[in-house]
Structure 1
Amino acid sequence: MIKIRNYETKDAAITWELKFNTIRNINVRDYTLAQTKAWAPDHFDMKLWQKRINDMNPFIAELNGKVVGFADLQSDGYIDHFFCHSEYQGFGVGRALMEHILAIGISNGVSRFYSQVSLTARTFYEHFGFKVVNEQSIEVQDEKLTNFVMEKII
């Protein structure tokens, strides 16, 4: 059974590793190697990640005590990060995280959920009722990546 819990500072390294491996092993299906290396660089300052993830304060998904995903929900309904472990795709991790985020958001009065969604995650978000607002090209480390602004209105 997938357990969703609150983030703890000690989760920073494992969340970076999970994000890195998911981008490099899953998102590489929809983006070039150069794009995924820009998005998840080989060398990244862990102090910067620690600050970013502490500020993001995500929810952590665990399966049998192992961190298998994480996602955040900001007070305005913005989902900044949503990652499922590359080896646990199709196990219900994403569903558990999304259902948790939506329930928490609704209980806190969020009526619009939105995110910048990768090519890889677009169909997942659509499954939960998100609609594409617009397609965009963002620049990361001199690489252009296509993604979608998607939203769900409650």
Structure 2
Amino acid sequence: MLKIRRYKTDDALTLRELFISTVRHINQRDYTQEQLCAWAPVEFDAVLWDTQLTLLNPYVVHLNGKIVGYADLQPDGLIDHFFCHYQHQGQGIGRFLMQHVLIKAQQRGIKRLHAHVSITARPFFEHMGFRVVKAQQVTVQEQTLTNYLMERPAW
């Protein structure tokens, strides 16, 4: 059974592991190993990570008590993080999480959602009603990665 709740500091390490493993497993078909290591480095500052997640205040998805995904929704409609565990993709978790984000956007009166979406995640976001505004190149630790600015009406 899927359940959603807000982030707690105790989630930090689990979400970090989910982030790294998902980026490195799922995105390897669209990005080089060097790009993946720059995007999701194993070495990280635990305090900084927790601080970032606390500011993002994401929704955390549990499947039978195990964390399987998380996503945030910022006041301006930005979805900065949207990740589903690589071992649980294609099981409806992403759809469940996005529907939750859409409901929260409507409740908050947010009219437009936008995200910087990887090549790999683009088809999912398109399926969820997002459209590409523009392709963009971003530099992360001296590696250039392609992603897409995507948007959709929140409701």
TM-score (norm 2): 0.97
- What stretches of structure 1 of length at least 5 have no aligned partner? none
Quote the residue 2:49 is aligned against: 49
Identity of aligned residues (%): 51
Given that 1:118 and 1:148 are in contact with CA atoms closer than 8 Å, whether structure 2 keeps it comes out as yes
Quote the residue 1:125 is aligned against: 125
Quote the residue 1:134 is aligned against: 134
Q: Give how far 1:9 is off.
A: 1.3
Per-residue CA deviation, residues 17-39 of structure 1 (Å, 9 max, x unaligned), is: 10000011111111000000000
Give me the whole-angstrom Cα distance separating, in 1, the residues matched to 2:43 and 2:20. 11
- What stretches of structure 2 of length at least 5 have no aligned partner? none
Quote the residue 2:93 is aligned against: 93
Code of the residue aligned with 1:12 in structure 2: it is A
Code of the residue aligned with 1:143 in structure 2: it is Q
Runs of 4+ in 1 over 3 A off after TM superposition: none
1:80 aligns with 2:80: yes
Give me the whole-angstrom Cα distance separating, in 2, the residues matched to 1:22 and 1:45. 19
Quote the residue 1:6 is aligned against: 6
**Partner secondary structure for residue 73 of structure 1:** coil
Q: Give how far 1:42 is off.
A: 2.0
Give me the whole-angstrom Cα distance separating, in 2, the residues matched to 1:127 and 1:42. 31
Give me the whole-angstrom Cα distance separating, in 1, the residues matched to 2:42 and 2:108. 38
**Partner secondary structure for residue 148 of structure 1:** strand
Per-residue CA deviation, residues 37-96 of structure 1 (Å, 9 max, x unaligned), is: 000112111111011001000000000100000000001110000000010011111011
TM-score (norm 1): 0.98
Give me the whole-angstrom Cα distance separating, in 1, the residues matched to 2:23 and 2:46. 17
Given that 1:135 and 1:146 are in contact with CA atoms closer than 8 Å, whether structure 2 keeps it comes out as yes
Give me the whole-angstrom Cα distance separating, in 1, the residues matched to 2:95 and 2:128. 9
Query: What RMSD in Å do the two structures reach over aligned CA positions?
Result: 0.7
Quote the residue 1:106 is aligned against: 106
Given that 1:4 and 1:96 are in contact with CA atoms closer than 8 Å, whether structure 2 keeps it comes out as no
Code of the residue aligned with 2:134 in structure 1: it is N
Per-residue CA deviation, residues 82-132 of structure 1 (Å, 9 max, x unaligned), is: 000010011111011100000000111010000000001001000111010
**Partner secondary structure for residue 103 of structure 2:** helix
